[in-house]
Amino acid sequence: MGDVASSPVSSSVPSVDATARAIEFWFDFGSNYSYLSMMRIEALAAARGARILWRPFLLGPVFRKLGFDNSPFVLQKEKGAYVWKDMERQCRKYGIALTRPSTFPRAALLAMRVALLGAHEPWIGAYCRKIMQLNFADDRDIGSIDVVSEALDALGLPAQHLIADAQSDANKLRLREQTEAAIAKGIFGAPTFFVGGEMFWGNDRLEDALDYCHSMPASG
């Protein structure tokens, strides 16, 4: 599906008031359905006056906790074949580029650590979209320091400094703790969204989660 135009990596998204209703977005860069949500969520959330709480976590430990040593899309051949056809349809629907990664699921530990480090920074959305684009549109190895550095450089961010901070023992521990928190919340896949205590699983529930968020009274 290389003929489908890619969504812009650094699109202009309206700012959202810090007291606005919040949606938690739990994602992993290796997750194909997280890619679909990642490329859409900021614009959709802004249109509903919702702010995003970015929650990167690692799917691998979640799957192992459930008794899987790999993605169910790999372990179950028929499901995997269906999923990639579904991805083609969904990407056509949303106008998002897709090149099936030559490695799936692709390890992205460093990229995830950087995402956790920047979860409260204004560049988090653009960074996450760039990493997802590199994985699912460009078939690049987002687990490598060179590709993560390239993504940060493209956004005008201090790659060397951020990568050093992301690789600190404290940040590594935070990502492990965030993954443990995902397990404690009952998360079993990605993307998963929380609005208050209400959980929504899957890209096809993103709009439902945002509609539910919009129906709640604003905090403040």
CATH number of the structural domain spanning residue 98: 3.40.30.10
pLDDT band at 15 (very low <50, low <70, confident <90, very high): low
Residue 83 in domain: yes
Whether 12 is catalytic: no
Strand (E) positions, the chain?
A: 21-27, 50-56, 192-195, 198-201
What is the model's pLDDT at position 64? 86
Instruction: For residue 9, give both structure tokens.
Output: 């990596």
Residue 14 in domain: no
Residue 98 in domain: yes
Residue 9 in domain: no
Question: How many domains does the chain contain in total?
Answer: 1
What's the whole-number mean pLDDT along residues 56-79? Answer: 78
Residue 11 in domain: no
Residue 1 in domain: no
Residue 211 in domain: yes
Sign of CA dihedral 21, 157, 112, 40: positive
Q: Which domain holds residue 172?
A: 22-215
Residue 15 in domain: no
pLDDT band at 66 (very low <50, low <70, confident <90, very high): confident
pTM for this prediction: 0.87
What is the model's pLDDT at position 130? 98
Q: How distant, in Å, are the alpha carbons of 48, 122, 129, 187 from that of 15?
A: 12, 10, 17, 29
Q: Which of 11, 12, 31, 102 is catalytic?
A: 31
